[in-house]
Amino acid sequence: MQAIGAGVPFRAITEVVGYAELSAIRRQRTQWQGQASVAFATHKTAEGLAYRSHGHIHMAETNETARAQIVRDYIHDLESRSGGTRAAMAHRRVDVCALNQDIRACLQEKGELAKGVENGELTFATRDGARAFAPGDRIVFLENNRDLGVKNGVLGTVHQVSADQSGSGSQMIVKLDGRDSSFVTVDMDAYQAIDHGYATTIHKNQGATVDRAFVLASGTMDRHLTYVAMTRHRDSVGLYASRQEFGDRNAGVLVAHGVAPYQHKAGNRASYFVTLETAQGQRKTVWGVDLERAMKQAQPAIGQTISLVEDGSTPVLLASGRTIERHSWTVLDAEDMVYRQLESRLSRSGAKETTLDYSQAFAERRGIAQMFGIDSEIVLRPAS
């Protein structure tokens, strides 16, 4: 997702004849959002996430709840601004699939999209399995096709669906997005690279511009994906994340803290301890002299959920002449820790990374993908 870098010949030319640079942001209509876009573009992701102070970052407890919030806000925007444009997006294809299913289900429940063959909804074979389509459905084309005049990533709205009758074949008439709003007739037996397009991958949204965007954050994202996702909009963008995805697994409810013999064993030297109870009900005790300072500074209450962050260590010379490493600590409210993790993940360069860099998330994603019956690898090819 990195911008295409200038090669050595181009750099040599610019050194001789100079160059002009386009730096003004014209897509975002609000000044502070334009400034955030500049921050994302220059790899200052933490500054770009100023969206939090404006109430545009939404934190849910679980990934499922975060997706539900996107569906709710997407549907609300569709109903209140029917003439506007919008896009939901995620990095992982399994999340995109779930968002599409949930948005369709919500529209059908409201009676705004046909459900069932008797009402005009038909099921077709696609390259990713069987998909049901009805007039009004948002779809995305996944492969270039000269005969249809479509490219990978092009979006459209279903105008009509028809089953194979009298040898005419199964067809779908689609109104393409764009200024000309042309119609294409898709032979579903010949072209099957098609899917629902309420939500698409971030990669598919490169170059897109919409009025409002709804982004599901995941731990597999990096600063380049974040830049694309957070700069597709004119009016507003919402970033939706979950504590399940970005929370500190070592966070816990504060049970006790204070000075005691190390490991609570009589005769040991005095040290400071903090005992937390994790979400799994396990209690763990952390020891460290600097914890006393950190706890006094943060002043958490018993029963509050906190995270203990080790900030490194410094060498300390003891009276005995021996040198030890003393750890320094920061005590954070669990919510602040979630945002810290979010900021850290979304700020990664992504360079030289493989699935091994997030093997746990990849493994979890594979398991979920099997439940959906789809291939869940991350799409790394850019839209044509």
Least confident among 102-111, 255-264, 347-356: 347-356
pLDDT tens-digit series, residues 277-294: 998 899 999 999 999 999
Dihedral angle sign, alpha carbons of residues 301, 302, 308, 311: positive
pLDDT at 369 over 50: no
Residue length of the chain: 384
Q: What is the pLDDT of residue 319?
A: 80
| pLDDT greater at residue 136 or residue 29 | 136
Lay out the sheet containing 171-176: strands in order across: 183-187, 171-176, 155-162, 138-141, 194-196
26: tokens are 């014209």
Q: pLDDT digit string (tens) for 57-114?
A: 999 999 999 999 999 999 999 999 988 999 999 999 999 999 999 999 999 999 999 9
Q: What is the pTM of this model?
A: 0.78
DSSP-assigned states of every residue in 245-297: HHS-TT-EEEEEEEEEEGGG-TTSPEEEEEEEE-TTS-EEEEE-THHHHHHHH
At residue 382, does pLDDT exceed 70? no
Nearest-10 crossing angle of helices 93-109, 359-372: 40
Separation CA 116–CA 130 (nearest Å): 14
Q: What pLDDT, on the 0 to 100 scale, is given for residue 229?
A: 96
Q: Are 236 and 56 in contact (CB under 8 A)?
A: yes
pLDDT level of residue 165 (50, 70, 90 thresholds): low
Q: What is the pLDDT of residues 169-228, one digit of tens each?
A: 689 999 999 877 799 999 999 999 999 999 999 999 988 899 999 999 999 999 999 999
> CB–CB of 160/135 below 8 Å?
yes
> What is the overall mean pLDDT for the chain?
86
